[in-house]
Amino acid sequence: MVKVRDFLGRYRLARLIRLGSTCQVWEGIKDDGSHYALKVLRPEQRGNKTEIGFLKHEFEVASNLNHKNIIKLIEYCTDSETPFIVLELFSEINLKQALRRGPEPISYMLTSMVEQIVESLYYFHSKGYVHCDIKPDNILVNRDGMIKLIDFTIAKKVKTGIGKLFGGGSKVEGTRSYMSPEQIRGQSLDARSDIYSLGCLLYELLTGKAPFTGNTPNDLLSKHLSATPPSVLVVNDNVTPEFNNLIKKLMAKKPEDRPQSMWDVLKTVRATPIFKKPPRIPETSIFDDFPTGGRMENPS
């Protein structure tokens, strides 16, 4: 891997936290000694105008958000060889990593985490946006079970008024395992698309696997379009029938058959127990697999 220079603007690069397909996330130390997370394009992507546009878009969407369960974006920097985003430094483990030993180790925190996830999305929607990429990878969690929603790269402004009539033909973006039928079709999206993806996420948090799989990408997308949502109870019989039914409703194929807002989902989540019996607290923490809180990459 190409080593980046030791400084970006006023930030000294302390360690590489995560390596993605187009971006790196570093811990950066500002000249005043404060610590942040820096989202930086990988060296081979630094002249890619499309990726630079995604980075700028993410900052424009999320820079004015202020919610305890949404990662805080602090600044968009262009005073170096490549633009980068400065974020608050939070836990480095996401829910996808937390699930690598199965759903049981996080079950005891799940009731609180689910409510936090829904609250973050309710707030995000109240600002007029759809996230469009709700999945375990995009939710960070710390040792206390606090979560933060991240990655607003493909978030879209909800069309209102006459704009709703001209919402077709959108570029199809998202993660196949969690995309709503209307997202797959490139239709105009509103909060109900994220509600579908939330249903897929909750299924995975309770079973350890995504609701649909396919032999090919098109096979997987086809199942989102037409296959009956699976029952959580087949995999996890400690889930209440009421919560299982809620997940199925969230994953209804037609948007009009789902809850119509994240506020409706939040009210139902608060009133619906997830488990028949309280899950036990595990003897070892999921964080024991990550000595410093998250996955470390060798930056050299």
pLDDT given at position 252: 98
| Domains of the chain (ranges, CATH numbers) | 7-87 (3.30.200.20), 95-271 (1.10.510.10)
Over the stretch 221-252, which tens digit does the pLDDT of each residue have? 999 999 999 999 999 999 999 999 999 999 99
| Of the candidate ranges 130-134, 139-143, 165-169, 194-198, the one whose mean pLDDT is the lowest | 165-169
Is residue 133 annotated as part of the catalytic site, yes or no?
A: yes
Over the stretch 150-171, which tens digit does the pLDDT of each residue have? 999 999 999 886 656 555 556 7
pLDDT given at position 165: 55
pTM: 0.92
β-sheet bridge partners, residue 275: 239
Please, which pLDDT band fits residue 298 given cuts at 50, 70 and 90?
very low
Please, which pLDDT band fits residue 7 given cuts at 50, 70 and 90?
confident
Over the stretch 19-73, which tens digit does the pLDDT of each residue have? 888 999 999 999 899 999 999 999 888 888 999 999 999 999 999 999 999 999 9
- Strands (DSSP E) contained in the chain are 7-8, 11-19, 23-30, 35-41, 73-77, 84-87, 129-130, 139-141, 147-149, 156-157
pLDDT given at position 174: 95
Choosing from 31, 133, 288, 289, the catalytic residue is 133
Which string of b and e fits 98-108 if b means at least 16 CB within 10 Å?
A: bbeeebebbbe
Kindly state the average pLDDT of the residues 207-222: 96
